[in-house]
Each structure stands twice: as structure tokens, then as C-alpha cells.
Structure 1
């Protein structure tokens, strides 16, 4: 089976899509399927090419407005690839147009993974632009899919609430389970943290939907407990739309510079080192599909503080995460609970997370489920248990 993956960006500019799409492509690259990846090239593509090692990757030069991501050579490249099935990742950009055209000309099916982009908060954000894009091309793209891919039950519900009646498969993201390396180099930011201090890590895009301003408000409320326990908050990630400057100004106004550190983006070995140096992980998000960063934190045995919007309720049930709402008082209460725990209690939470990832979120397991869906839409197999028709 020849599978095509289509995404607007092949680099870190896609946020969590880089790890999600490349990990899934690597998981599918077995004797049962070959994978060709198509997407836009940008200034970070060369640095991030290791994510795509061993895969057939077609990096295309974009043209026109950046927000649309028009790829002039994409249509011809898709036709020549002779794919059996195409899988688009993400919405609201030119790949949505190209996928629909490819399907109509080839007569072959495609799947769509919104990756949280149909969640209510995400739809409300830049609402008028998305309404225009929906009218122009996105609604046709979504309705024409042989199957829509939700990362969790909550995303499947959001897809239905958007008015879509296609079959929906519910299959989570996956993650690799890293081995601990005794002599691993510390992250570059470690020198800014006093020796012996505890680190609560946020790692991801610096974007309003991630809830970082309310995290800072909650940290300020729990400031005394953080200071008595020697806790520091490290915010690692790449800036989107100037949000980093807003966070820096908030930190300065609150006088949190001694405890809160904006350390910039972390990729590759530095990202792994950041997760290894941390003592806990936090994601105060208003909206997610299924966050790769939480799965990666659990894979590194970190206890997690997160909101229900992260759509990983199994983490709360397994005792791998503390629940909080994306508001200052709730975050402060969760922070105080985390600060009050012993090292052994936090380690036990982290082990629960690691076990959860190994059992439910490994890439081989995820790829196996998705391959069954591809066979079904091609008429080569029965309807998988992951597929919902209602």
C-alpha cells in the first residue's frame, strides 16, 4: 500500500504536528506500507530533516501569502506519486485544496486529521478567517474525506458538533519511549537554575491558547510555596505572534524574574535534556487535540499538571497527572499540591505516566490501528473497532 502524508509544514513551524506526523509516518513505514510525505519548505526545514530520516520526503517551496501556504508544484507531484490513499494533517491551508483535487482526479480516498483544529476554542480563534476558508474550500475538504481522524473521544465530539457526518476513527497520537543516558549533557538553560532547585517545565509553542498568562497568575498566587520548596518555572518554546514579549512583560510586572525563566525553543538533544532535567511538567492549555508534549513528558517519567482540555483523562485516572482548570486559582491549587508532594510521590506519578504511554500510546500500536483504517476505506478489510459511524 502506498500512503501519502500531506501537511503544510515539514518543520517546527507546524508546532506539535512535526512530531505527530513524522512519528506516525515512521511507525507506518513497514513491510505493509510505504509512506511519501509532502509539505512546505521553510527556514527550519534543514534543521528538522532528521525527523524524516528514511522516508520519501517531498519538501516544496511555497508561494504567495504565508498564511495560506500555497505550494505550486504540489498537484503534479501528488498525481505522479500513484498513491493508494492520502492523509492530510491540519486544516485551513492549501493542502486542504490539493487533497480534494487529488481525490477527484484519481478517484482514490483521503483521510483528514484536524489535530484539534475543530475544537470549539480553536474554531473561535480567528473566527472570520476560518469562516471564509470554510466557505471557500475547507468544508468541501472535510466533507469529502472517506474518514476523519480524531485523536480522542472529545475531538470526535467536536467533529460532530461542527456538523460533519463522515465516519470518524478515534486513534491517539503516539510517542517513542526514550532510554535514560547517565552522562547526558544538561540543557543550556540549566546554568540559570540554582543547584538542587526543582524545575516545573512547560515546553511547546508560546501561543495564547496554551494558557501561559494564567499559569503565571497561578504561579504568583503560589509563589510562597514555590519559593519555600525551591521550585523554578522554565517556559521553553518558540514564539508565535509576539506572545513571548507579552509573557516577558507579565513576568517583569509580577516580579517573578528570579523564579520564572523564558529559555527559548528546545529541539532535538536539547529538548530531551530539558525533559530529563525537569522534575514535573505543566500544560495549562485552553484547547488541544491530544498534546504530544504531555506524552513526551510521561515517556520521560515526569508527573504532569494539565487541564481537561488536553483530552488525556486517562492520565488523571491512572494517577499520572494533577487536574486543573485554565484559571489562576485552580492552577495555584494544583501547583501547591505538586509542591507539597514528596520526591517519591512525584516519581510514582511519573512511572504511572511512563506505563500509560507504553500500554496505549506507542507508535507501533498507533500505526497498526491506522493501517486498519486505510485498508477499510480502500475496501481491503473490515470496519475497524476504532471507527464510529454515528
Structure 2
């Protein structure tokens, strides 16, 4: 089986979606499936310094990058479009990732032209908040271009079980399949020494650390986290907030101002993007994980926080009702007071917080690993290729 994965961009600044596609490709490739990825070389306000128009060989997949023009954020790439129309027939199935970007649209058209089956994963971009952000542009694009191409997909993948209602409300009647994201269990069997993090950010040492791990972006709810943390910090002055993530849209000054206005900026460390040992050391150093998002597909960082054994406060916008049902996270409404109350509860009852973190770790390692996800995805690919009805 030959699988082509298409994504508008793979820059680290795009956070979870980049990580998801690369780790899914690796996990599927480990099962003996041939996997190629194509993307533009976009990386937020910059570009990736990588070879273009040639395969870069990884252990379990290949990836090829193409130049682009940033036309209203749609990443128009003529060379990538030409490549897709020429090479899509060489694959058994095409798996597109994200919407509202021209490379994905070109991939869908190429599949339709050559009658190659394709599956599309929106990664939460059809959630109400996501559609409302820059709505005028998205409405036109979705109505006249995106929706007609999505309607012809053999299946739409939901990474969160809650996506189905929103997708159906947009008039899409494709088969919907639920395949979540995952983590590599080996990454969480033994976390690095927290001192690796303390040495780089000494102001966090000997503090009770609450960690936010994600892009500095309007949808991530930092405007809610600021007053929520301020309320918790007033009650527990030994707390310190870590905001760890890249700023790919220039939103950082606005985000910092939220905490200044809330009166707690001196108790917040913005680390920028953290990866590798420093990220895992940050998780090892932290006491609580928080995700105050307005909207997510299915957050990789939430999975990582839970796999690290942290008690987590997440909003309903994180689309993880399974965590609430299993009592492995505190899932709250999308408002600052509820986020604050949940943080304070965990800070007050440290024994129960520790038990929640332990349950969370076990829950993720049993149910949300890339090995499980890849096996389910390959079965889905085979069903689509063989024309088996998707249930």
C-alpha cells in the first residue's frame, strides 16, 4: 500500500498538526506501509531552510517540500499543484490534513481527476470557534471551494468524538470515522530531570508550577487564563505559570498584556517553543497542566500533560469528553471563573490532584498511543481502497 499525506505546512510554529502528521506517518510506516508526505516550506512568518523539490528520507517515510506564495494565508503553490496532478495516480490513497489552504484543495482536485480515493482530516478547523475566526474569508472559501471538494472525500476523520455534530451541521454527509491522536509511550516512561528546565528558567525553581503548552494564539484562551491564574495566584502566591509555545502570528505582546492587566505578569514565564528534553523536563517540573482553549481538534499537548501524570484543567473546547467521563481531568466550561476554581481545587487538595494525575497517565498510555492509532488508520485505509462500506 502506498499512502500520500498532504499538509499545507510542516513548520514547528504550527504546533500540534505538524507533530500529528509526522508522528502518524512514522507510526504507519513502522507497520510496513509506504508513506510519503508533501508540504510547502512555510514556517509562520519565515520559511523552512530545507531542500525543495526532492525527497528527504526519514526512517519510516519520505517528505518533499515546495515553495509557495502566501495569498491571504492560503499558501498557493503552483509547483506543488503540478506535482500532485502528475503523481497522485502513483498512490493507493491520499490523506489530506487541515482545510482552508490551497495545497489541500489541489490534492482533492487531483484525486478527483485521477479517481484516487482520499480521506480528509480537518483537525478541528470546522469547529464553531475556528469557523467564526476570520469568518468572512472562510465562509466564501468554504462555500465555493472547500465544501464541494470535501463532499467527494471517501471519509472524513474526526480526531475528537465531538466533531461529528459540527461537521454534519455544515451539510457534509460523508462517512465519519473517529481516529484520535496519540503519544509515544516510550517518551513518558521516564521523564528527564526537572533541573534541566530550572537551569534555563531559574525563576521557576522552588515554585508550584502550572504549565500551559501550546501556540500563542487567540483560540488558546490566554485571555481567560490570565484572570484565572491571577485569582489562583492571589490565594496561592507560591504558584508560577509557564506559558510554553511558539508565537507564529505576532500575538505574544497581546498575550503578555493579558497577564499585565490581570496583575500577575511577574509570576508568569513565557519560554517560547520548547522541544525535546527541555519540554519533557518542563512537564516533569510542573505540578498542574492547564488548557483554557476556545477550540481544539484533539490537543496533542493535553495528551502529553496527562501522559506525564499531571492533574489537568481543560475546557470543553478541548473536545475531550472522554477525560471527564473517566474522571482523569477536570473539564470545565470556557470561562475564567471555572478555570480558576478548578485550579484552586487542585492546589488545595494535593492528594486528590496526585491521584487524578496517576489516573490520567494510565488512561492515556492504555488508550491513546500511536501504535493503536496507526493500526486503526491502516485498517481504515484498506477499507477505503477495497471499497468496504465505512461504518
TM over 0.5, yes or no?
yes
- Give 1:243 shift: 2.2
Q: Is the 8 A contact 1:174 1:362 kept in 2?
A: yes
Aligned to 1:206: 216
Within the candidate set 355, 374, 377, 1:348 is matched to 355
Give the Cα–Cα distance (whole angstroms) in 2 for the partners of residues 182 and 252 of structure 1: 32
CA contact (8 A) 2:191 2:284 kept: no
Distance 1:247 1:269, change over 3 A: same
Corresponding residue of 2:384: 377
C-alpha contact 1:96 1:141 (8 A) present in aligned 2: no
**Matches of residues 51-130 of structure 1 in structure 2 within 5 Å?**
53-65=59-71, 67-78=73-84, 79-80=86-87, 82-130=90-138
CA contact (8 A) 1:109 1:377 kept: yes
- Residues 198 and 231, structure 1, Cα contact 8 Å, conserved in 2: yes
User: What secondary structure sits across from 2:209 in the alignment?
Assistant: strand
Q: Secondary structure at the match of 1:186?
A: helix
CA distance in 2, matches of 1:108, 1:60: 22
Aligned to 2:145: 137
Counterpart among 175, 178, 185 of residue 170 in structure 1: 178
User: Quick one: distance in 2 between partners of 1:51 and 1:138?
Assistant: 31
Which residue is 1:33 aligned to? 33
Q: Aligned-pair distance for 1:148?
A: 0.4
Are residue 190 (structure 1) and residue 197 (structure 2) matched?
no
Give the C-alpha shift of residue 241 in structure 1: 3.0
In the superposition, relative to structure 1, how do residues 316 and 200 fare at CA in structure 2: closer, same or farther (>3 Å)? same
Q: Using a 3 Å threshold, how does the CA distance of structure 1 residues 15 and 33 change in structure 2: closer, same or farther?
A: same
Partner of 1:250: 258
1:119-169 Cα shifts (integer Å, max 9, x gaps): 111111111100121134211221111100011221111111111001111
Deviation, structure 1 residue 46 = 5.2
1:15 aligns with 2:21: no
Per the TM alignment, residue 185 of structure 1 is displaced from its structure 2 partner at its CA by: 5.4
Counterpart contact for 1:299–1:354, Cα < 8 Å: yes
| Alignment-derived partner of residue 368 in structure 2 | 361
Superposed displacement of residue 80, structure 1: 2.8
Q: Equivalents in 1 of 2:334, 2:137: separation in Å?
A: 26
Segments of 5+ residues of structure 1 without an aligned counterpart are none
Q: Aligned to 1:301, what secondary structure does the other structure show?
A: coil
Q: Secondary structure of the equivalent of 1:258?
A: helix
2: CA distance, partners of 1:66 / 1:274: 36
Instruction: State whether residues 12 and 44 of structure 1, in contact with CA within 8 Å, keep that contact through their aligned partners in structure 2.
Output: no
Asked if structure 1 preserves the Cα contact closer than 8 Å seen for 2:124 and 2:298, the reply is yes
Counterpart CA distance in 1 for 2:16 and 2:192 is 28
Which one is further off, 241-250 or 156-165?
A: 241-250
Q: Deviations over 1:2-31 (max 9, x none)?
A: 000000111213221011111111111034
Verify the 8 A CA contact 2:227 2:259 in the aligned structure 1: no
Report the 3-state secondary structure (helix = DSSP H, G, I; strand = E; otherwise coil) of the residue aligned with 1:350.
helix
2:246 is paired with a residue of what secondary structure? coil
SS of the residue 2:105 aligns to: helix
Deviation at 1:222, TM superposition (A): 2.6
Q: Does 1:312 align with 2:320?
A: yes
Q: Secondary structure at the match of 1:323?
A: strand
Going from structure 1 to structure 2, the CA distance change for 1:30 and 1:221 (only over 3 Å counts) comes to closer
Aligned residue for 1:153? Answer: 161
Tell me whether 237-246 or 157-166 shows the greater mean CA deviation. Answer: 237-246
2:225 to 215, 219, 242: 215
Q: Following the alignment from structure 1 to structure 2, what is the Cα–Cα distance between the partners of residues 282 and 75?
A: 40
* Structure 1 residues 182 and 233, CA gap change in structure 2 (3 angstroms): closer
- Any conservation in 1 of the 2:8–2:104 contact (CA below 8 Å)? no
After superposition, residues 265-284 of structure 1 pair within 5 angstroms as: 265-284=273-292
Decide whether aligned partners of structure 1 residues 238 and 175 sit closer, same or farther in structure 2, where only a CA change above 3 A counts: same
User: Root-mean-square deviation (CA), in Å?
Assistant: 2.2
Partners of 1:346 and 1:104 in 2: CA distance:
51
Instruction: Give the Cα–Cα distance (whole angstroms) in 1 for the partners of residues 259 and 271 of structure 2.
Output: 13
- CA distance in 1 between counterparts of 2:137 and 2:367 reads 36
- Mapped to 2, the partners of 1:50 and 1:303 lie a distance apart of 39
| Structure 2: unaligned runs, 5 residues or longer | none
Change (3 A) 1:11 1:348: same
Contact 2:30 2:60 in 1 (8 A): no
1:320-339 correspondence runs (5 A): 320-339=328-347
Question: How far has the Cα of 1:373 moved from its partner?
Answer: 1.3
Specify the SS of the correspondent of 2:78.
Answer: coil
Residue 180 (str. 1) matches residue 187 (str. 2):
no
SS in 2 for 1:129: helix
**TM-score using structure 1 length:** 0.91
Q: Structure 1 CA distance, aligned partners of 2:57 and 2:131?
A: 29
